[in-house]
Amino acid sequence: MVSRRLLRIKILQILYAYYKKGKPAVDKLEKELFFSIEKTHELYISVFALLKELVRYANYRIELSRNKLSPTAEDLNPNTNFVDNKVIAKLSENPSLKKYIDKYKVNWGLYPELIKNMYIQITNSDYYARYMKENEPSLKADYKFVNHILYRAILNCEMLDSLLEEKSIYWNNDIEIAVRQVERTLKKIREGEEPEVLSLYKDSDDREFVRRLFRHVTSHDREYTEMIESFTSNWDVERIAFMDILIMQQAIAEIIEFENIPTRVSFNEYIDIAKFFSTQKSSNFINGVLDRIIQKLKEDNKIIKSGRGLIGEG
């Protein structure tokens, strides 16, 4: 399943658009929200497919060298650490991944210059040189090498950034989110388990979580803004970053609306999201304000939690 963290982020992004566009019809933005989530899932699948395409291209280069008119000993006996990487091999065998690649019609072979440039970037790197010196790399070494590709090649490829911007407006700034989700999936392989490629939603509860949270924030925005203002009396609200206010609004909405999600879980999630979308200073500011708001909500009995281990939590 796509993580709740990602769902919260996508809601935040659409809420940002909602306010910046002058509060258009909620129904229209809600459809855009769900489409945006599916596009991020497509990007997540596309990163896996990109890893597979890089291995395919590496194999192609090996075969090209072998078929030279006068191949060298190295051409005939190449180092195959990259093409034999066990982590990427596991992905190639995964039926769920194949299903999603087919569903989204992902085909990186249509962009040969991108693949060639990224391959050259990888093979010229220090981490590639170290990896290729390994004698029969361990699963841990294979995983570490793939992680380097994710964070040092894929996330630092200007050509890829430009291409993603051209392909979908919903992929602006989402490549890091997708890469983090891929890393999370690959950890299963490192631990000796079968990779579980995340589905779009775990169940209907996740989809309902998105709808309810988005609707609740948009219908209580004035109320929650005033609440935030009352706890930032020493600040000029106009000077508080708009994204900081939006993160706090969404956090308050989730804490009040969802009786089955522990307050501390919601609180920690939004502090982490603030670190991702804002500065460390902003996350500290949000931490302090939210903490005081939550205490007040508890005193006023506006936080009601129920479910296993949650009775009395509010």
The answer to whether 14 and 215 have CB atoms below 8 angstroms apart is no
On the question of pLDDT at 169 being above 90, the answer is: no
Give me the chain's average pLDDT, please: 91
Q: How confident is the model at residue 238 (pLDDT cuts 50, 70, 90)?
A: low
- Helices within 21-138 (DSSP H only): 26-66, 73-76, 86-92, 95-104, 112-123, 126-132
3-state SS class at 146: helix
Q: How confident is the model at residue 310 (pLDDT cuts 50, 70, 90)?
A: low
The answer to whether 16 and 111 have CB atoms below 8 angstroms apart is no
3 or 59, which is more confident? 59
Residues 27-60 pLDDT 10s: 999 999 999 999 999 999 999 999 999 999 999 9
5 or 239, which is more confident? 5
User: What confidence score (pLDDT) does residue 172 get?
Assistant: 75
On the question of pLDDT at 139 being above 80, the answer is: yes
Q: Per-residue b/e over 103-133, b at no fewer than 16 CB within 10 Å? A: ebebebeebeebbebbbebbeeeeebeebee
Residues 266-305 pLDDT 10s: 999 999 999 888 777 788 889 999 999 999 999 999 998 8
Residues 78-123 pLDDT 10s: 999 999 999 999 988 899 999 999 999 999 999 999 999 999 999 9
Q: Per-residue b/e over 250-262, b at no fewer than 16 CB within 10 Å? A: bbbbbbbbbeebb
Closest CA to 192 of 124, 234, 243, 140: 140
Q: Domains of the chain (ranges plus CATH)? A: 4-190 (no CATH), 220-299 (1.10.940.10)
3-state SS class at 92: helix
3-state SS class at 140: helix
Closest CA to 94 of 201, 182, 197, 200: 197
The answer to whether 170 and 36 have CB atoms below 8 angstroms apart is yes
On the question of pLDDT at 21 being above 90, the answer is: no
What are the CA-CA distances from residue 30 to residues 13, 100, 171 (Å)?
A: 12, 24, 18
On the question of pLDDT at 264 being above 90, the answer is: yes
Q: What average pLDDT does this structure show over 121-130?
A: 97
Q: How confident is the model at residue 312 (pLDDT cuts 50, 70, 90)?
A: low
User: What confidence score (pLDDT) does residue 64 get?
Assistant: 93
On the question of pLDDT at 1 being above 80, the answer is: no
User: What confidence score (pLDDT) does residue 92 get?
Assistant: 86
- Model pTM score: 0.86
| Distance, CA of 137 to CA of 65 (rounded, Å) | 23
179 or 203, which is more confident? 179
